[in-house]
Amino acid sequence: MGQLAAGIAHEINNPMAYVRSNLSMLRGEWETVRKRLGGNDAASGPVTDCEELIDECLEGVERTISIVKDIREFSHAGGGAFAPADVNLLVEKALRMASGQRSNRLRVVQHLGPLPRLRCSAGSLEQVFLNLLVNAFDAVGREGDIEVVTRCEGAFISVRIIDGGVGIPAEDLGRLFDPFFTTKEAGQGTGLGLFVSYEIVKLHGGEIVATSVLGEGSSFEVRLPLATAGEDPA
């Protein structure tokens, strides 16, 4: 992420904007065609098909535009200054980004409890949640359940990402957060996701707690104190 992602997102935005505008105009023109054809029964099938096709294209374009918007906000905000933010919103954004191209047989259950605003680096925390979610999606593969639970526990905000995936062998639990520790194939993972995530959470005075049962699944809990001693490191 970062500069490159922001640049690509920006380049995608421009053509998408005119595809959207042209499709909207096409939709309008098509209305006129439909009215002129009036009661012509022979044409009614293809006319309706075309309408549906245009609407589906518009939906796709809207979705692309919203993903690009997320990417831009995400890469601009990374590492930014501390400011009050709604952690549930950050979790939701990360979820939208992580679930983009995943199989629809994956079920994500969300239990987002009421949370006080947290003084944090929003873009960085979003990256943490995205890293954990991508790992969870990788662990469950093409079919399975992921649960995301947020809640306020006294002086802490707790964000748990629980997956029913492959699980983690006991001997690996101790080195998950080491830089470059990965069990993924070359090109699939660099082993930096958890390391970077832990660094970010530490900057917020918090911790990540991992538990797992091999063959059953894993849980990663991000614990963020509502009041940090160190305050703004930026």
Ligand X SMILES: Nc1ncnc2c1ncn2[C@@H]1O[C@H](COP(=O)(O)OP(=O)(O)OP(=O)(O)O)[C@@H](O)[C@H]1O
Would you say 155 and 116 are in contact if contact means Cβ atoms under 8 Å apart?
no
Would you say 82 and 119 are in contact if contact means Cβ atoms under 8 Å apart?
yes
Residues near 150 by Cβ (< 8 Å), separated by ≥ 6?
87, 88, 91, 111, 112, 113, 115, 157, 158, 159, 160
208: β partners: 222
Considering the complex, state which of residue 189 and residue 225 has its C-beta at the smaller distance from ligand X: 189
Residue 30's binding partner out of Mg ion, ligand X, none, with CB under 5 to 8 Å set by partner kind: none
Considering the complex, state which of residue 82 and residue 150 has its C-beta at the smaller distance from ligand X: 150
Q: Residue 166: which of 214, 118, 223 has the closest Cα?
A: 214
Among the residue ranges 8-16, 127-135, 165-173, 205-213, the one whose residues contact Mg ion (CB under 5 A): 127-135
Q: Does 150 bind Mg ion (CB under 5 A)?
A: no
Interface positions, 154-193, toward Mg ion (CB under 5 A): 193
CB of 162 to ligand X, least distance (A): 9
Alpha helices in 38-119 (DSSP H): 41-77, 87-99
Residues near 194 by Cβ (< 8 Å), separated by ≥ 6?
131, 135, 176, 177, 181, 208
Neighbours of 83 (CB within 10 A): 14
Considering the complex, state which of residue 72 and residue 160 has its C-beta at the smaller distance from ligand X: 160
Q: Which position's Cβ is nearest ligand X? A: 193
Residue 228's binding partner out of ligand X, Mg ion, none, with CB under 5 to 8 Å set by partner kind: none
Q: Does 218 bind Mg ion (CB under 5 A)?
A: no
Pick from 135, 158, 212, 218: which binds Mg ion (CB under 5 A)?
Answer: 135
User: How many amino acids of this chain bind Mg ion (CB under 5 A)?
Assistant: 2
CB of 138 to ligand X, least distance (A): 6
Looking at residue 121, its amino acid is S
Question: What's the CA gap between 118 and 223, in Å, rounded?
Answer: 12
CB of 171 to ligand X, least distance (A): 12
CB of 234 to ligand X, least distance (A): 24
Summarize as ranges the residues that interact with ligand X (CB under 6 A): 131, 135-136, 139, 163, 165-166, 168, 176, 181-184, 189-195, 218
Binding positions for Mg ion, rule: CB under 5 A? 135, 193
